[in-house]
Structure 1
Amino acid sequence: MKKKSLISLLLIIAMLVMSACGNSDDSSAKDGEKKESGGSEEATIEFWTMQLKPTFTDYIEGVIADFEKENPNIKVKWLDVPAADLSQKILTAVSSDSAPDVVNLNPTFASQLADLDALVNMDEAVAEEDQKKYVQGAWEANQINGTTFAIPWYLSTEVSLNNKAIYEEAGLDPEKDIPVTYEDAKKVAKTVKEETGKYGYFPSLDLSLVLQHMVKMGADLTNEDGTKAAFNTDAGLKAFEYFTELYQDDLIPREALTGDQRSTIDMYQAGQVATFMGSQFISQIKENAPDIYENTLPSTGITGESGKKTISVQNIVVPEQTESKEAAVKFALFLTNAENQLEFSKLTPILPSAVEALEDPYFTEAGEDAEPVDLVRIQSAAQLDESELLIKPMDNYDELRQAMYDAISEAMLGNMSPQEALDQAEAAWNEILSK
């Protein structure tokens, strides 16, 4: 599809949601205020984040104040947008030629804008020496067709949380029997269920997690050029069979299929699950279930034959429409520098994408009085070098993800054999990829 027709489609989509989103006073306020920000000329740039107020208001406002002090010719206007509204709001802004100058987006959605040439090429806008200041896997997570469309901001890797008390109740050694692979997890699930009636393992299949499980188990999702499905293989079948067996034998909760990721934390906090991958919830566990928290032992993320581990990335993009590209990129680099990222990481359980920040003892040394939250942080940081974005940006991603989920659901519910379900997924993917 040509660029012009894609832009037209984007405009139609945005017009359909315009009435729901409304016109932002913050967006229109910048009209006429922005100027080319070369040299010492003044510029006002608009910065959008995703649901950071009020928790991180002081931090973001502090970063902006520091930036404006160093760059008195540049003013930053900050707008925080609810996560559920951001996609529609940015679509509306781009299609009406009123895009903000700097935006916090995830790679999946940002890649859709990049595919429309709607984002600044960071390979060209950011000096090579500055590019090397970021974790390589995080920088590469923001690439499509060989072009980098964003600067990585904060990260996370997948760490397992394990309830030592349940392991001990099941006669298992929490220091030795915590699972590292999917096969380990199946063994733990069987033992815990037989000995305690609880669930030893809770693998969520929400959102992109089915795809991530399959990649970790060794399946390629598409061929090299992304035009055909490539997962109808022994590895793909093994993944479908694995989850079908666990589900039908009641070795994982029903919510693994029917619930969202909140279900995992709820059951873990209730003391009904021995192991799940949800380290992002460690602070909530500390607050809501202190007894469970005290018994929590973090461990490496579970993987399969591929040995792959996943990284999640939040990034910063600069829309191509900006009239203050130099100022916008300068602010994006300032926001994501090592000093600011280190400060941000100490406010919430995330990892910085700046290599220098990761060298701080905060991410490498546990200390004698280390709590589970400290151990999660150190384990997560230790995995960065071997973690990658498992699900690369793809066109029609939501359709592809849903088609895979629908197919594996049919197998797990017993409506199809795993092979029949895999065949269904392959046919659906090939149809979607041919668009």
Structure 2
Amino acid sequence: MARAVRSSVRARFATAVALAVALPLTLAACVSGNPASQDAPEQSGDAYSGEVEWWTINLQKNYGPDIQKMIDAYRSAHPDVTIKWVDVPGQDITTKLLASIASGNVPDAVNYTSATTGLFAGSMADLNKYFSAEELAAYAPGLAGPLVTKDGRRIAVPWYNGGTSLGFYNSDLLTSAGFSTAKPPKSYDDALALAKTYHQSSGKAATNFMAYSNVVQGNDIALLSEDRTKAAFNTAETVALLEKFKTSFDSGAIAPGSLGANQRELPQSLENRQIAFNPLATSSTLLNVEKNSPAVYKSIAVAPPVSGKSGKYYLPGQQVFGIPAKSGNQAAAAAWIKFVTSSEQQLALCKLVPIYPSTLKTLEDPFFTDISGSTPADQARKILRDTFGNSVDASLGSGNDEQLRELFDQQVRAFMSGTKSAQQALDAAETAWNSALAKGK
């Protein structure tokens, strides 16, 4: 596949995740409560007959023939099953699924994002009925684990993801700071120390990463209470973390543009050489550097992202499959999902699209193990593979993750700009979160 197409696909993946988490409040109110606890339609009970209406996100345009081959292969083995494939634009999936649930006319198997699991949890069937413990063990625990509700219901299984964050370092610029590609920062403190050293040696900003909600979470600080009803981040530990970043920001080691609301278009970037590194960047950042600044791209050293003491690497979200509770052909839907998410089918998809699987066995294939190149892109792929075992889905399961994170980040900006103290910012964020969470009940 041409590089341009692969790059655009990853960009669309990120866009789909971002757009799909928007909460259409009117429709959400229509499906509030716990529909999954109501009587489900009468089931055929046959795993290999009837029609399975299957919804995906943004695959038809570029991969229609490939997906159709997968469907044809399945039907060849199970001729009594019909797969009705419906591909939905990323920006429409949440609204379309909410509308279908509200009307009772639901798909049998649906692809949605883990950021919206809290929104749809009450409307999904419990997949523990259809997946054995052995079958579930095929998925990475850090990806499958968050898809279980507090009462033990499995509302989805993982499909694919865009990989964890990565650390990108301009080795040319960082020479003055004594940076070694063999010893990149491992912790957040390491990254702040490197930023200080670089700033002192060059007089320039070193990085643009900031203590937003993802960084707080990455430091192993819980954002939500265990029952997901209240904010949990307002602690002395979080105050200390914010103040640590404020010191770095005020010194000039962290770029002033890091407070920009659009984190995809910050004024100081690796591309324009106005920062020297980002220890917690999305993988798509490297594609942008390669496209817009080839000279900088050649000097980029790639490393695992920084992490907290747990050593966990957080995914910004993942694509998952669920079965609406009002589906009348759940057994057949489950059988189809098992096929689509099998290690073999995930490998085939990963060869088409620059994504990463949810099944452990897929990463054992030479496609992932035999990476001989030495370009930054090759380094990134190796690291994404190697960090997979410690990957955890960062989704909160609130049903409105994006809004909550933005409410938090707004208060961080207020603190960093000097209009509030760290404690005042956390108090305001806590109040905003608890209000939003209460409205979502």
In structure 1, C-alpha distance between the alignment counterparts of 2:28 and 2:103, rounded to whole Å:
9
Distance 1:300 1:49, change over 3 A: same
Who is 1:160 aligned against? 167
The farther-off stretch of 233-242 and 44-53 is 44-53
Check the 8 A contact 1:280/1:349 in 2, yes or no. Answer: no
Who is 2:11 aligned against? none
Who is 1:417 aligned against? 421
The farther-off stretch of 55-64 and 353-362 is 55-64
In structure 2, C-alpha distance between the alignment counterparts of 1:161 and 1:69, rounded to whole Å:
46
1:210-254 CA distance string (max 9 Å, x none):
222112224232444344433222211022213333333333334
Check the 8 A contact 1:153/1:316 in 2, yes or no. Answer: yes
In structure 2, C-alpha distance between the alignment counterparts of 1:12 and 1:402, rounded to whole Å:
17
1:85-120 CA distance string (max 9 Å, x none):
211111111111222222221112123111x2x112
Distance 1:81 1:253, change over 3 A: farther
The AA in structure 2 aligned to 1:14 is L
In structure 1, C-alpha distance between the alignment counterparts of 2:271 and 2:194, rounded to whole Å:
19
Who is 1:242 aligned against? 244
How do residues 2-401 of structure 1 correspond to structure 2 at under 5 angstroms?
13-14=26-27, 36=44, 38=46, 41=49, 43-114=50-121, 116=122, 118-145=123-150, 146-155=152-161, 156-168=163-175, 170-176=176-182, 178-196=184-202, 198-203=204-209, 210-263=212-265, 267-276=269-278, 277-311=281-315, 312-367=317-372, 369-394=373-398, 396-401=400-405
In structure 1, C-alpha distance between the alignment counterparts of 2:57 and 2:293, rounded to whole Å:
28
Check the 8 A contact 2:255/2:268 in 1, yes or no. Answer: no
TM normalised by structure 1 equals 0.82
Pairs aligned (count): 401
1:341 Cα deviation after fit: 0.9
The AA in structure 1 aligned to 2:350 is S
1:434 Cα deviation after fit: 4.7
Check the 8 A contact 2:53/2:85 in 1, yes or no. Answer: yes
Check the 8 A contact 2:172/2:299 in 1, yes or no. Answer: yes
TM normalised by structure 2 equals 0.81
The runs of 5 or more residues in structure 2 that have no matched partner are 1-22, 31-42
1:176 Cα deviation after fit: 4.3
The AA in structure 1 aligned to 2:349 is F
Distance 1:407 1:266, change over 3 A: closer
1:49-69 CA distance string (max 9 Å, x none):
222343333332232222222
In structure 2, C-alpha distance between the alignment counterparts of 1:420 and 1:177, rounded to whole Å:
37
In structure 2, C-alpha distance between the alignment counterparts of 1:15 and 1:221, rounded to whole Å:
23
Distance 1:180 1:55, change over 3 A: farther
In structure 1, C-alpha distance between the alignment counterparts of 2:194 and 2:24, rounded to whole Å:
51
SS, match of residue 26 in structure 2: helix
Distance 1:15 1:410, change over 3 A: closer
The AA in structure 2 aligned to 1:273 is I
The runs of 5 or more residues in structure 1 that have no matched partner are 1-9, 18-34
Check the 8 A contact 1:218/1:236 in 2, yes or no. Answer: no
In structure 2, C-alpha distance between the alignment counterparts of 1:419 and 1:302, rounded to whole Å:
25
Same amino acid, percent of matched pairs: 27
1:149 Cα deviation after fit: 0.8
In structure 2, C-alpha distance between the alignment counterparts of 1:316 and 1:203, rounded to whole Å:
32
SS, match of residue 105 in structure 2: coil
SS, match of residue 78 in structure 1: strand
SS, match of residue 130 in structure 1: helix
1:280-303 CA distance string (max 9 Å, x none):
443444444333332222111112
In structure 1, C-alpha distance between the alignment counterparts of 2:343 and 2:382, rounded to whole Å:
17
In structure 2, C-alpha distance between the alignment counterparts of 1:62 and 1:238, rounded to whole Å:
54
In structure 1, C-alpha distance between the alignment counterparts of 2:396 and 2:231, rounded to whole Å:
14
1:162 Cα deviation after fit: 2.0
The AA in structure 2 aligned to 1:77 is K
The AA in structure 2 aligned to 1:192 is Y
1:399 Cα deviation after fit: 4.6
Check the 8 A contact 1:101/1:328 in 2, yes or no. Answer: yes
Distance 1:271 1:399, change over 3 A: closer
SS, match of residue 189 in structure 1: helix
Q: Which protein has greater RCO, CA pairs closer than 8 Å, 6+ apart?
A: 2
The AA in structure 1 aligned to 2:79 is P
Check the 8 A contact 1:244/1:418 in 2, yes or no. Answer: no
